[in-house]
Chain A
């Protein structure tokens, strides 16, 4: 199966990254922000796999695996924090979490 060139993959990854960044910037709900972060990390994985393919270097795949594992850990801790915040404040709207505002 022959796909397109490297630039196509990098452009696709850049688009997904921009969409994820838009989600992080505009979502009010903390879980919605986490969804945007997931999209951005996915775009990075596409980049890593594309470079691994076109440079015939397995290091890109290793790094993609590491990114996936770290993302899973990040989601676990992030959602635990969201649940803890919800217990304490009864909301997960990022705008309402201003306890430390001076």
Chain B
């Protein structure tokens, strides 16, 4: 077992533990912090996959942006001071059964699939990524910009104070 494989399994263990803590912990604020840990662990997995650009984007957008917005939403909808922000879960057994069934289904596909060999090293993939984004995927990129503006306006519309 190489050092890279060992490091991957360590990161995978952290990712799984943080994910489980996110869905199981009773304190919603702690759940967001565990989610941040899971997002950082995912970013490390991207490093193992030789996608350093995704690593940066993941840290900036998820661990930086999304977690901040989530904390704001919790502060706006829960009383952080005075009352405990515990929350209960329901249908634990049903949820466990469905989630296990989905995992077993995916694992069944994986077991039947042929093992894949790593592709050839592709040189500077950041240059390839940039060429693809402004080349064949340029229309999609433009649409993504439109979508982000629309989402921003929609969020403003929903969250604005009634007057």
Contacts and interface: CB of A to CB of B under 8 A. Distances in A.
Interface in A1-49: 1-12, 14-23, 25-29, 31-32, 34-36, 38-39, 42, 45-46, 49
Given A58-B125, A58-B129, A83 B158 contact: yes
Given A3-B48, A6-B116, A61-B125, A12 B12 contact: yes
Nearest to A45: B42
Contact of B23 (A6, A27, A54, A75): A27
A69 B16 contact: no
B159 A80 contact: yes
B54 A65 contact: yes
Contacts of B58: 45, 68
A99 interface: no
Contact of A70 (B53, B122, B144): B144
Contacts, number: 247
B151 A49 contact: no
Interface of B: 2, 4-5, 7-9, 12, 15-16, 19-20, 22-23, 28, 31-32, 35, 38-39, 42, 45-51, 53-54, 57-58, 61-62, 65-66, 69-70, 72-74, 76-77, 87-92, 94-96, 98-100, 102-103, 106-107, 110, 113, 115-120, 122, 125, 128-129, 132-133, 137, 140, 144, 147-148, 151-152, 154-159, 162
24 contacts: A3-B49, A15-B19, A16-B15, A21-B102, A22-B23, A23-B22, A25-B94, A26-B89, A34-B70, A38-B66, A46-B42, A58-B122, A62-B140, A65-B133, A68-B58, A70-B147, A71-B66, A72-B61, A75-B66, A77-B158, A79-B70, A79-B159, A80-B155, A83-B158
